[in-house]
Amino acid sequence: MNRRLATVCVWLAGVVLALTASTAHAEDYLLGAQDEISITVYLHPELERVTSIDANGNVTFPPVGEVKAAGLTPRQLGDRLAERLSTFLRQTTAVTVGVRQYVSRSVFVSGAVARPGRYGFERLPGVIEAIGQAGGALPGADLSRVQIVRVEGESRRTLTADVARTMRDGVLTGLPELKVGDTIVIPSGFGADPFAAPGAGSAVLGQVAKPGLYPVGDGIDLWNLLAIAGGLTGSGDLSNVRVLTREGDGMTAVRVDLKNVLTRGTRTPYKVREGDVVFVPTTTASGFGRAISGFGTVLGITRDVFQIVVLADILKDNKVSN
């Protein structure tokens, strides 16, 4: 097994394990302050509501009033609310509590990413997954000097993570583990690392878990790039992956059949270079125009085509200006 294929296997295994862990531990999540939850009462739609747990760990739910929620699982809180409701209703009922936003387990992502901000998770992710959740690193990001700022009591500590090396080598164990409240800062760099050089970016759009802009250095295998973007969604069409490459003043679309690779067990590497746009269509689309939309409406088609053209132009401008 060559090095690139081993890297892809590591990334895909990480994605599968993350999804499995999320499902296995969904009911084990302990609610915390600021989490946004939904409350549904069987046969009583008038009692349904969306609310947040306050700073003291309580939730207010009419008609029972204030109830302690922090430290309980969603199921335990539902049972507690059902017990309290039994004094107001003529018969017992079931209460279902769902978590809409995991604010109590959140980290901040800032700097050279597509969508900086605060992100909550059921289970704290790794550094790379958190960056991907923020839309991926922008062209020019220096992934060799990613900083993790951590507040411990009255002191502040800064850790440095070489994400570029991890992405290059496929070794996931060398990055620091995130803690609640950490701030991930992705600095901009100019020539600090060839893997994160200015303009060395490729856009991954369509049916992938984490669409966004990703650094590709002097080129990266398509399998690797899709794995970094979180892999395909359940609607992704492996047989019609498109790579848009700029040639002169125009764009050339190349179709790559990755399904055939999995079916026949052969693997022909396709290298994605800076400025390329990778698009994964839906399995229900028959033509390229409909594949781009994935929505079946003129508005959807216009929006996605516009997005691809704009991103391609941005990547081109970044490349030329540097």
Mean pLDDT of 246-264: 78
* Contact indicator for 214, 229 with CB cutoff of 8 Å: yes
Question: Could you read off the pLDDT of 194-242 as tens digits, one per residue?
Answer: 333 334 478 888 888 888 778 787 788 898 889 888 888 888 888 899 9
Do the strands 201-206 and 277-280 form a parallel or antiparallel pair, or are they unpaired? parallel
* Contact indicator for 241, 222 with CB cutoff of 8 Å: yes
Q: What are phi and psi of 282, to 5 degrees?
A: -85, 155
Full-prediction pTM beyond 0.75? no
Find, among 64, 67, 66, the residue nearest to 87 by Cα: 64
In Å, the largest CA–CA distance within the chain is 74
Give the containing element (helix H, strand E) for 106.
strand 106-111
Vertex 128: Cα angle to 127 and 133 (nearest 5)? 100
CB-based contacts of 152, cutoff 8 Å, min separation 6 = none
pLDDT at 158 over 90: yes
CATH 3.30.1950.10 fits 30-100, yes or no: yes
CATH homologous superfamily of 102-192: Outer membrane lipoprotein wza domain like (3.10.560.10)
How far apart CA 319 and CA 306 sit, in angstroms, is 20
Find, among 229, 235, 227, 222, the residue nearest to 283 by Cα: 235
pLDDT at 309 over 50: no
CATH homologous superfamily of 199-322: Outer membrane lipoprotein wza domain like (3.10.560.10)
Q: What is the pLDDT of residue 208?
A: 87
Indicate where the chain has its CATH 3.30.1950.10 domain(s).
Answer: 30-100
Indicate where the chain has its CATH 3.10.560.10 domain(s).
Answer: 102-192, 199-322
Question: Could you read off the pLDDT of 102-125 as tens digits, one per residue?
Answer: 999 999 999 888 888 999 999 999
Concatenating the DSSP letter of every residue in 72-105 gives: S-HHHHHHHHHHHHTTTSSS---EEEEEEE-TTS
